[in-house]
Amino acid sequence: MHRGVVLVALLAVGCTASKAQVQVVSAEEALRRAEEYDADEKAVYEYTMAVEYLAKSKDELGHSQTRMADALARQSAEWSDRAIIFVERRGRTEISAEGLSDEAPPPAPPPPLEPEPEPIDPELEEILAPAPAPDDPNDDLELPE
């Protein structure tokens, strides 16, 4: 029975290591896809994060930290995907400096003015005015010291 437990434990460790290795390979493929989009030049931050997570994942795998390697490889693949999305949103075309001028753009138009409120009719103003506060009957009382 003791051998069976050891065998199951070894298989479990082997499965975890295999799973982490698969994630590393998947992250490498995602990084290659990002490179096809020139993400190393157009999405530098996202691409760099993917590279660094992948490097750390491989380092952890080398130290038999398979769960950490698996998680880091997943993060690397996610950053590669973000880099691709960033490039796609910005477009794959290079921005040319031709046609751009050094002139400042014209100032934005001022916001529209709010119309001034119409004056209230004096008779209506008397009706809408708040009522005076009633006299407090306790005003005449003297408080003991």
What does the pLDDT look like over 97-123, one tens digit per residue? Answer: 555 556 666 777 776 677 666 777 777
Phi–psi pair at 18, nearest 5 degrees: -65, -40
Asked whether the predicted pLDDT for residue 71 surpasses 90, the reply is yes
pLDDT at residue 117, as a whole number: 67
Arithmetic mean of pLDDT over the chain? 78
1 inside domain: no
> Which pLDDT score is estimated for 123?
74
**pLDDT for residue 96 is more than 60:** no
Is 26 part of a structural domain of the chain? Answer: yes
Identify whether the C-beta of residue 50 lies closer than 8 Å to the C-beta of residue 79: yes
Looking at the chain, how many residues does it have? 145
Per-residue tokens: 6: 């050891």
Are 27 and 55 in contact by the 8 Å Cβ rule? The answer is: no
How far is residue 11 from each of residues 5, 18, 21, 66, 89, measured CA to CA in Å?
10, 10, 15, 14, 44
Please give the residue range of the domain that contains residue 69.
22-90
Q: Has residue 143 got a pLDDT over 50? A: yes
* Residue that is written with structure tokens 């006299």 in the block: 135
Percent of the chain, pLDDT > 90? 46
Which alpha helices (H) appear in the chain, and where do they start and end? 2-36, 39-42, 44-62, 66-90, 122-128
Radius of gyration over every alpha carbon of the chain, rounded to an integer in angstroms: 36
In the chain, how many domains are there? 1
Residue 143 lies in a domain: no
User: Is there a domain that residue 107 lies in?
Assistant: no
Residue 96 domain-assigned (yes or no): no
| Structural tokens at position 45 | 């931050």
What integer pLDDT is reported at residue 121 of this predicted model?
Answer: 75
pLDDT band at 8 (very low <50, low <70, confident <90, very high): very low
Assess whether pLDDT exceeds 80 at residue 32.
yes
Supply φ then ψ for residue 80, to 5 degrees: -60, -45
